[in-house]
Amino acid sequence: MEVRHLIDLADLSVERWEDITKLACDIRDHMDDYYGAGRGKILATLFYEPSTRTQMSFQTAMLRLGGKLIGFDDPGNSSVVKGESLKDTVRVVSGYSDIIAMRHPYAGAAMAAAMYSRVPMVNAGDGGHLHPTQTLTDLVTLRQEKGTFSGLTVGLCGDLKNGRTVHSLIKAMARFPGNRFVLISTPGLGVPAYIKEYMTAAGCPWQETDNLADAIPTLDVLYMTRIQKERFASEQEYIDQRGVYVLDAEKMKLGRVDLVVLHPLPRVDEITVEVDEDPRAKYFEQTEYGLYARMALIIRMLEGAAKLLEPCPKGSMHICANPRCITRTELYLPRLFDPSGKRLICRYCEDDFDPAERAIAEERMFFEEPPA
């Protein structure tokens, strides 16, 4: 199986997901059989944002496969602090390594990096956009704990707007038959429009609610998420949203006996510590499954040979409307869009806008008189 890059889990077929998750489960049961699968190979971890589980699980995965590590966990300790572009960093590091795992605060950064990497690039989280290896972790967890990827009612609670793990999981589970979603959030933290459109296009039923207690009795899986302080424009906006949804022992009494509670971690105050003792709470097991998922992924991606870089496509004159899109900081990147009716969808961050509406708005701003 040749895997060039993993930017979005949709880059792989459902059959590939099945293959990787089955391999992960076999690694779990026969760990010693896989030592040496990465011997002579080097993994580079480029983490532009803080991470505990994702970074350490990638590092542990490569070490348990017999490979080596290079990279940084703070851009302040690299040439990034000197102003080096993402392109230049990736071109250099891809000459030193056999595979790269990268986390970055801007949406679309992994796709941008893949355009300049001569080795397989793994998206370890790009802003509030996607987190495909966390979703592989979630799929391995569901295979072990529920025995199926289909026919499940999945509740997702918390910051569904900025939660890249939520976006990736929805896009994955919508590919399996019989699944439905219950989206539990405040109006200001609902899932982005493109995720709703994706579920609808996939024929996957979904509903929105702001009441966690009412939703729990209907769920097979509850995926809790924290309110992400780092994604808010101001401290007050964060304070207004935090603590709205808290899973505690009383709410757990409302859930089914076979409910599975997941969380990508870290948690802040959205799950009380008393829930940890409930056998339905599987978020710590989930982190261990993440190690096996990444070991399996590395094995499969190392089977793909490195290739010469292809010329970058010609860009558009338009500018992405998303201020957190990687094209707003790495200005050399070609601006790439796909049409969707009258709107354009940015290939990097998947944000969309109507170019005609924006032109009118910009014209009004240009001719408006400045305030006295």
CA nearest neighbour of 168 among 14, 10, 356: 10
- Whether 82 is a known active-site residue: answer yes
Q: Which position among 21, 54, 133, 287 bears the catalytic label?
A: 54
- Whether 16 is a known active-site residue: answer no
CA nearest neighbour of 146 among 296, 19, 256, 278: 256
Q: Which position among 64, 104, 129, 131 bears the catalytic label?
A: 131
204 neighbors 181 (Cβ within 8 angstroms): yes
CA nearest neighbour of 179 among 221, 232, 125: 221
Crossing angle of the two packed helices 53-64 and 132-145, in degrees rounded to 10: 70
Bridge partners for 107 per DSSP: 325
CB atoms within 10 A of CB 52: 11
- Whether 167 is a known active-site residue: answer no
**Following DSSP, what letter does each residue of 242-303 receive, concatenated?**
TTS--B-HHHHTTS-TT-EEE--S--SSSB-GGGGGSTTB-HHHHHHHHHHHHHHHHHHHHT
Would you state the structure tokens that stand for residue 366, as one six-digit string? 């240009």
Q: Which position among 53, 118, 196, 318 bears the catalytic label?
A: 53
Q: Looking up tokens 């505990």, which residue turns up?
A: 52
**Following DSSP, what letter does each residue of 157-219 receive, concatenated?**
ES-TTT-HHHHHHHHHHTTSTT-EEEEE--GGGPPPHHHHHHHHHTT--EEEES-HHHHGGG-
Q: Which position among 82, 253, 314, 364 bears the catalytic label?
A: 82
Would you state the structure tokens that stand for residue 199, as one six-digit string? 């579920």
Q: Which position among 64, 103, 263, 294 bears the catalytic label?
A: 103
- Whether 242 is a known active-site residue: answer no
Residues catalogued as catalytic: 53-54, 82, 103, 131
